[in-house]
Amino acid sequence: MNVVLTREAGKNDELRTWLPNDFTVNDVPLTTTHYLAIDDVAREIADGGHVGKYETLVVTSTRAKDYLDLAREALAPDADVFSVGPASTRALVERGFAVTGEATSRARDLAARITRGPVLLLGASQMRSELADDLNDRGLDVVHVACYETRPVAPRDDEIALLRSADVVFVGAPSAWSVAAAFVGPQTWVVVPGATTGDAVRRDHERVVEGWGPLIGGVLSSLTL
């Protein structure tokens, strides 16, 4: 089975350990991360007007981990802390946060569990608005602070050939799919980490497998190619 991993360079080591040894695996990075300056993020948090009073923190990606100390300073003493995905949970725990709850698929799944505001939402500049919209509709003040921006990377000709010939392509974010979609054939299976990316891929591709983890190798071995 030919597998292509499209996460940015250096982000695929754990994912590779989930795949059987007889798979042919190639890296074709389709995104890169631009991190915002610490001082700029600190200024954005301060401009939200609730430093020391945020009753809830939501962290949507491990890419926010280097900004967690800024978030800690902005929280009320007994604030709730929510994460999106187990990797974000691990990052928070490693930094000494007690995690109140985790969404395994998409940020919006946390909406019903968040009851206190103001809410500090930490993540990407391109973050989808559904969670903030739901919370705003319930009268909770939400401040979205971007820590990073995911930028597309144009593949080389040899990388395009790998995408076209792949049996399986791993796509970690909608921004990666915006590049990959032009080169992935209809018979290729696209594996995504959760519902947010899955929704983006399903708009123009039928073969989607949702969920990353150690069991994914067995799932892929059972697919019809």
Q: What is the CATH number of the domain that holds 104?
A: 3.40.50.10090
82-134 pLDDT per residue, tens: 999 888 999 999 999 999 999 887 788 899 999 999 999 999 887 878 899 99
At 10, the pLDDT band (50, 70, 90 cuts) reads confident
46, 48, 54, 56: CA torsion to nearest 10:
-120
Task: Let me know the angle formed at the C-alpha of 68 by 176 and 91, rounded to the nearest 5 degrees.
Answer: 65
The sheet carrying 24-27 orders its strands as 24-27, 2-5, 168-170, 189-192, 208-210
The pTM of this model reads 0.79
21-35 pLDDT per residue, tens: 999 999 999 999 999
Q: Are residues 41 and 90 in the same domain?
A: yes
At 2, the pLDDT band (50, 70, 90 cuts) reads very high
Of 150, 174, 191, which one is at a domain's C-terminal end? 150
Q: Give the separation between CA 113 and CA 57, rounded to whole angstroms.
A: 12
Q: Are residues 141 and 158 in the same domain?
A: no
Q: Are residues 8 and 68 in the same domain?
A: no
Mean pLDDT of the chain: 92
178-190 pLDDT per residue, tens: 999 999 999 999 9
Domain count, the chain: 2
* CB of 85 closer than 8 Å to CB of 103: yes
Q: Are residues 111 and 162 in the same domain?
A: no
Half-sphere exposure at residue 76, Cβ-oriented, CA atoms within 13 angstroms:
13
Whether pLDDT at 135 is above 80: yes
Range of the domain at 79: 34-150
